[in-house]
C-alpha cells in the first residue's frame, strides 16, 4: 500500500509557514514503514530537533482506480479517519532550501500516525470539524470546509499520476497550529468530539 499526502491545503497553515499558495495540490508520499498504528508510542528520531505534529483527515481507498473523474471519486472510499503527518521541520527546511525531495523529513519511521477508521456516512465529509489536543490543550482546530482542494478533487487529481489501490491512504493536509513535540507529550485527535487516536511521545 502507499500513503499519499497533500501539502498546503489550508490557507492559514500556508501563511504560518510563509509558503506560497500553490496553483495545484502539493503531493508527496510516505512509505508503508512510516505507519504508526494508533496507541503506539512515537519515538523522536535522533536526526531532528524540531519534530512537528500536523493533524490531518485521512481517507482509505477501497478499490482500484486511475484517471478517476471527480464526480465518481466518492465511490473510491468509504472510510475516514484522522492521523498525524509528523514532520522533521528542521530537516524539511534544509531540503526545501536546496530544492531537494522531502522524504527524509516526511517519510521516516513512525511519521504517519493512523487513527481508527469510521464509515464516511457517519460524517458530513465537506464540513467536518477535527481537533488535535496536546496534553489536553487544543492546538489545532480544523474544518474540511476550509480545504483548498476537497477530498473528491484530491482523489481525481492524484489518480492522474498514481493508480489508487485498495488500502491506500490519503493524508489531506493540515490546518493552522502546527508545532513541536517533546518527550512525554500526549497527542489526542478528535473528529467531531470522538477520540480517533491517542499517541504518547517518547
- The footprint of Mg ion (CB under 5 A) covers 54, 85, 174
For residues 51 and 48, what is the distance between their CA atoms, to the nearest angstrom? 7
Q: Which is nearer to Mg ion, 3 or 68 (CB)?
A: 3
Instruction: Supply the minimum distance, in Å, between the C-beta of residue 121 and Mg ion.
Output: 26
Instruction: Supply the minimum distance, in Å, between the C-beta of residue 85 and Mg ion.
Output: 4
Q: Which is nearer to Mg ion, 107 or 201 (CB)?
A: 107
For residues 152 and 23, what is the distance between their CA atoms, to the nearest angstrom? 17
Q: Collapsing DSSP states into helix, strand and coil, what is residue 149? A: coil
Beta-carbon count within 10 A of 75 CB: 14
Instruction: Supply the minimum distance, in Å, between the C-beta of residue 191 and Mg ion.
Output: 17
Instruction: Supply the minimum distance, in Å, between the C-beta of residue 174 and Mg ion.
Output: 4
The C-alpha angle 33, 34, 35, rounded to 5 degrees, equals 90
For residues 67 and 83, what is the distance between their CA atoms, to the nearest angstrom? 26
Instruction: Supply the minimum distance, in Å, between the C-beta of residue 28 and Mg ion.
Output: 9
Q: Which is nearer to Mg ion, 170 or 188 (CB)?
A: 170
On whether the CB atoms of residues 173 and 59 are closer than 8 A, the answer is no
Residue nearest to Mg ion (CB): 85
For residues 186 and 133, what is the distance between their CA atoms, to the nearest angstrom? 8
Q: Which is nearer to Mg ion, 85 or 168 (CB)?
A: 85
Q: Which is nearer to Mg ion, 7 or 65 (CB)?
A: 7
Amino acid at each position: 500500500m502507499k500513503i499519499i499526502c497533500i501539502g498546503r491545503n489550508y490557507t492559514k497553515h500556508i501563511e504560518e509557514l510563509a509558503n506560497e499558495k500553490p496553483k495545484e495540490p502539493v503531493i508527496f508520499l510516505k512509505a508503508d514503514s512510516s505507519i504508526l498504528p494508533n496507541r503506539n508510542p512515537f519515538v523522536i528520531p535522533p536526526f531532528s530537533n524540531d519534530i512537528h505534529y500536523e493533524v490531518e483527515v485521512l481517507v482509505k481507498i477501497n478499490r482500484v482506480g486511475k484517471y478517476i473523474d471527480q464526480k465518481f471519486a466518492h465511490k473510491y472510499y468509504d472510510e475516514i479517519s484522522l492521523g498525524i503527518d509528523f514532520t522533521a521541520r528542521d530537516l524539511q527546511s534544509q531540503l526545501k532550501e536546496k530544492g531537494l525531495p522531502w522524504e527524509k523529513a516526511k517519510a521516516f519511521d513512525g511519521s504517519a500516525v493512523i487513527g481508527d477508521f469510521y464509515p464516511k456516512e457517519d460524517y458530513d465529509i465537506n464540513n467536518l470539524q477535527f481537533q488535535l489536543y496536546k496534553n489536553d490543550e487544543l492546538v489545532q482546530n480544523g474544518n474540511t470546509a476550509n480545504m483548498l482542494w476537497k477530498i473528491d478533487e484530491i482523489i481525481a487529481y492524484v489518480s492522474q499520476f498514481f493508480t489508487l489501490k485498495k488500502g491506500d491512504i490519503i493524508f489531506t493536509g493540515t490546518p493552522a497550529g502546527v508545532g513541536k513535540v517533546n518527550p512525554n507529550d500526549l497527542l489526542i485527535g478528535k473528529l467531531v468530539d470522538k477520540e480517533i487516536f491517542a499517541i504518547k511521545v517518547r
